[in-house]
Structure formats: structure tokens, C-alpha cells
Amino acid sequence: MSPSPSATTPISAGLQTYKGSCRCGAVRFEVDFDPSAGTTRCNCTVCTKTAWWGINVKPGSFRLLSGQEVLRDYSRSEASHGRFCGVCGMHSFGHGNIPELGGEYYAVNANCLDGADLTGVQVTYLDGLHDTWAELGSAPYVSPFPSGPRA
């Protein structure tokens, strides 16, 4: 049984499978992710305006479970494809090939993980705005919201 959207699941170290979805639930996916690998936030206009918080994994660690028929694509370049739900507009994952980030990848929006509490997960801030992908800083995530059920 997967957690309801109002329940939170603490994140622990080690490779685990997390379920995620867009806002309306039309797009559903699974991702194998080790939280100790950290996450990324980029300062490009797309990531900033969509509140993207990336979990980058190799292609074999991502599985689209449903929603292929409603997915739309936004590509800033040939190297990166942002996928979003054509029903609710949520940017839940993307994929591409950026050598500076290790080659082929899938990126999941951590905000789209169902019921995951990411408190303490390392966030590395990247300069995508200038296409350098240089690290601008790093810090553990601290939720600004009180813990417990949410609407």
C-alpha cells in the first residue's frame, strides 16, 4: 500500500524505490534513489519558475508507470527534455544527456514524490542559467512547513 498524499515517509540512506506523480495523478512513476546521493536545484529560468528540485538518476532507475499519452515536452536544448502533464501542467520528470552532469540521466522533481519527507537531504545548487553547471553551494534541506498531515 502506498502512502496517501497527506502521509509522510521519512527518507533513510540506501537505495530505495519511491513512487511519484503529477498533481492530478495522470502521470505516475517510480524512481530508485539513494538520498545520500543528494539532490540539485538549478537557477535557470525554467527550474526557478517551476520550483524544480532535481533527483538525478541513470535511465535504468526510472520507470514511467502511467501517463505516456498525456505527457508533453519542453526542451530548452537538445540535451534536456522537461516532461510535464498535459492535464494539470505539473513538471514531474525530465531526461537528457548533459556531459557535465555525467551523461544520460533522468531527473525527477522531488516535489512530486508521494509522501516523502526529504528533511536533511543534501541540496547542491547549480548554475544552469549560464550553462556552466558549476556548483554554487550546498546545504541540507530543511522544510519550511510544520510536519504532520497536510491538505
Annotated domain spans of the chain: 12-134
Give the pLDDT confidence score for residue 5 in this predicted structure. Answer: 42
Strands 39-42 and 122-126: parallel
In the predicted model, is pLDDT for residue 147 greater than 80? no
Burial class (CB in 10 A: 0-12, 13-18, 19+), 38: middle
* pLDDT at residue 31, rounded to an integer: 97
Confidence at residue 4, expressed as pLDDT on a 0 to 100 scale: 42
Confidence (pTM): 0.81
- Residue 58 has, within 13 A of its CA and on its CB side, a CA count of 4
Average pLDDT for 92-111: 90
Of 2.170.150.70, 3.40.50.2300, 3.30.1490.20, 1.10.10.10, which CATH number belongs to 12-134?
2.170.150.70
Q: How confident is the model at residue 46 (pLDDT cuts 50, 70, 90)?
A: confident
Examine the pLDDT at 7 and tell me if it is beyond 80: no
